[in-house]
Amino acid sequence: MSDTPTSPAKPALDLATAGLLLLPPLVWAGNTVLGRVVADMVPPITLNFFRWLLAFVLLLPWSYPVLKPSSIVWAHWRRYGLMSLLGVGCYNSFQYLALHTSTPINVTLVAASVPVFMLVMGAVFYKQRISARQATGALLSIAGVVCVLGRGDWETLQKVQLVMGDIYVLIAVVCWAWYSWLVAQPVDPPEIRSNWMYFLTAQMVFGLLWSGLFTAAEWQFSDNPHIVWGWTLGASVLYVALGPALLAYRSWGLGIQRVGPTIAGFFANLTPLFAALLSTVTLGDVPHTYHVVAFMLIVGGIVVSSRKS
């Protein structure tokens, strides 16, 4: 990693960029729900492979030029190989794996630490200064996440116990924070950087190799791996390919290019809140006061951390 500042100061957060960064946590919330629904239908790492394989096929008609033998992407295989390992190969594999062994409250609670990892990683490896606003924003956002996960009850949080699934999520969070900082580096060839389909395809072509390797290991060493084919699994794979794999990655990548990974990281804390809202819509749960309090804390953290001093 570089020891020098990576880019000029990012502009203040505007409405359009906020919209870009709001979309990924909404889609990720749906991804978490579906990952839980199909946990008994398909092995977790295999699900990740299906997701990216379908996304690659869907994008290929528009992005195939970047894969030609003469493409400049092959000269940068180390960068895209690393990015694909972190983003395509590891992040969702560990997340789906966690949903097999941990509870949703534990998974989302550990995942809420992503802004902290982005701040620390930026300070340690990229010489980015952590401002008082950013530190305050991180505390506010995490307080909001704790509020919604604990349902406004401290005793609920006291009963949470970390299991192996929580370790998987922690690994996923570290991978995602590192991936986001790599995306923020303006070192890609202009013809790839300026075309999001080329940029994502360059990652997916290497990511499918990683994911395929991990899937082969899963079927080799897991106990009784199986797939329950049906419309539920098919619709779920289609959603995770179109939503989290294409739409969310595009929005997230463009958002952190505009304002940097540190500010973008705070938006990830909206994922558990959106998950709670989706539960309200799908299960008929009535919103509670703690939902409002959590929303104010999380949004307050985003506003505080993204304002210019």
Angle between helices 289-306 and 132-149 (to 10 degrees): 160
Distance of alpha carbon 275 from alpha carbon 95, whole angstroms: 15
Rounded to an integer, what distance in angstroms lies between the CA atom of residue 285 and that of residue 287? 6
Q: Which residue in the block uniquely carries the two structure tokens 């946990």?
A: 39
Which two tokens mark 17?
């960029």
- Collapsing DSSP to helix, strand or coil, 152 comes out as coil
- Give the residue-averaged pLDDT of 1-21: 61
pLDDT digits (tens, 9 = 90+) for 188-211: 888 888 888 999 999 999 999 999
d(C-alpha 297, C-alpha 250), whole Å = 27
Q: What is the average pLDDT across 208-219? A: 94
CA distances from 83 to 181, 196, 203 (A): 10, 15, 7
More confident residue, 46 or 155: 46
Contact, 272 vs 112, CB < 8 A?
yes
pLDDT computed for residue 1 by the predictor: 37
Residue of 55, 96, 1 lying closest to 196 (CA atoms): 55
Alpha carbon distance 268, 158 (integer Å):
24
Q: What percent of the chain has pLDDT over 90?
A: 29
pLDDT 10s digits, 52-83: 999 999 999 999 999 999 999 999 999 999 99
pLDDT in the model for residue 90: 92
Instruction: Write the pLDDT tens digit of every residue in 133-154.
Output: 878 877 887 777 777 666 667 7
Listed in sequence order, the DSSP H helices in the chain are 15-37, 44-63, 77-84, 92-101, 104-111, 114-125, 132-149, 154-158, 164-184, 190-193, 196-221, 231-240, 249-259, 261-267, 271-283, 289-306
- Report CA Rg, the chain: 19
Question: Mean pLDDT throughout 35-48?
Answer: 89
- The per-residue pLDDT of the chain, averaged, comes to 81
The pair of structure tokens assigned to 108 is 């989302």
Per-residue pLDDT at 7: 44
pLDDT of residue 285: 58
Angle at 117 between CA 112 and CA 120, to 5 degrees: 145
Residue 3: its pLDDT value, please? 38
